[in-house]
Amino acid sequence: MSDKILVAYATRTRSTAEIAQAISATLAENGSQVEVRPIQEVTDLEPYRAIVLGSPIHDKKWLPEAIEFVRQNQAALSEKPFAAFMVCMALTMKNQNYHQMAVEWLAPVRRLVEPVSEGFFAGVLDIESVSSALHQSIFRVSVWTGVWAEGDHRNWEAIRAWASDLSDKLQAPKP
Ligand SMILES: Cc1cc2nc3c(=O)[nH]c(=O)nc-3n(C[C@H](O)[C@H](O)[C@H](O)COP(=O)(O)O)c2cc1C
């Protein structure tokens, strides 16, 4: 097996893709060989020593293709160090109860494969780029009522810190 780490992601409007790139860059700076790929391009996990997988949250869930990826690759992911991250807007909210709720959105992933580490990152809200009219309306109300604010809420320092900590966690072989 090679010494390569795969950072795979699902995305709709690229904010998760850019987080995956940042994670990959940090892992590489820490001496790992890394490949970053959208999950649609990943057909075989055999070449990788460890896998990091991320998805944005839509309607309180990972994107369907991301959870399907875990389901399809459950056996392979269970044998290797596997880390998961999610990107969402609830983590921008002041009320910490919403943060606790967001942590539970990874439960379906945990039930399939227990990650060695989990990353929770605030994302981007750009209402014009949202394809569904219904979601656009819901998000406009959220902005009017002060629940969410439009813009890029990604905390690159927190993302790099998680990735840096990950380097060690991905080294350890699965018990
Ligand atoms: C259709 C839709 C549904 C969303 N649902 C949620 C949600 O339930 N909870 C949340 O915190 N964020 C939600 N978000 C915010 C996204 O997780 C956030 O915009 C993320 O940065 C998008 O990632 P991407 O650019 O990689 O697609 C939603 C966004 C969209 C477009």
pTM reported for the whole predicted model: 0.96
User: Does ligand 1 come within 6 angstroms of the Cβ of 32?
Assistant: no
Where do the structural domains in the chain lie, given as residue ranges? 4-124+154-169
pLDDT digits (tens, 9 = 90+) for 76-108: 999 999 999 999 999 999 889 999 999 999 999
Say how many Å lie between the CA of residue 58 and the centre of ligand 1.
5
> What CA–CA distance (Å, rounded) separates 27 from 168?
10
Q: For residue 139, give both structure tokens.
A: 């998000």
Say how many Å lie between the CA of residue 157 and the centre of ligand 1.
21
Minimum CA distance residue for ligand 1 atom 27: 12
Q: What is the pLDDT of residue 168?
A: 87
Once rounded to an integer, what is the mean pLDDT over residues 24-33? 95
Q: What is the pLDDT of residue 45?
A: 96
Asked if the model's pLDDT at residue 2 lies above 90, the reply is no
pLDDT digits (tens, 9 = 90+) for 31-67: 999 999 999 999 999 999 999 999 999 999 999 999 9
> What CA–CA distance (Å, rounded) separates 50 from 81?
5
Q: What is the pLDDT of residue 97?
A: 93
Q: What is the pLDDT of residue 171?
A: 85
Question: Which CATH number describes the domain made up of 4-124+154-169?
Answer: 3.40.50.360
Contact 45, 6 (CB under 8 A): yes
Once rounded to an integer, what is the mean pLDDT over residues 133-144? 95
Q: For residue 151, give both structure tokens.
A: 């813009």
For residue 145, what are the contacts with CB-CB under 8 A and spacing of at least 6?
A: none
Asked if the model's pLDDT at residue 174 lies above 70, the reply is no
For residue 86, what are the contacts with CB-CB under 8 A and spacing of at least 6?
A: 54, 55, 56, 57, 62, 102, 105, 106, 118, 119, 120, 121
User: Does ligand 1 come within 6 angstroms of the Cβ of 99?
Assistant: no
Q: What is the pLDDT of residue 175?
A: 62
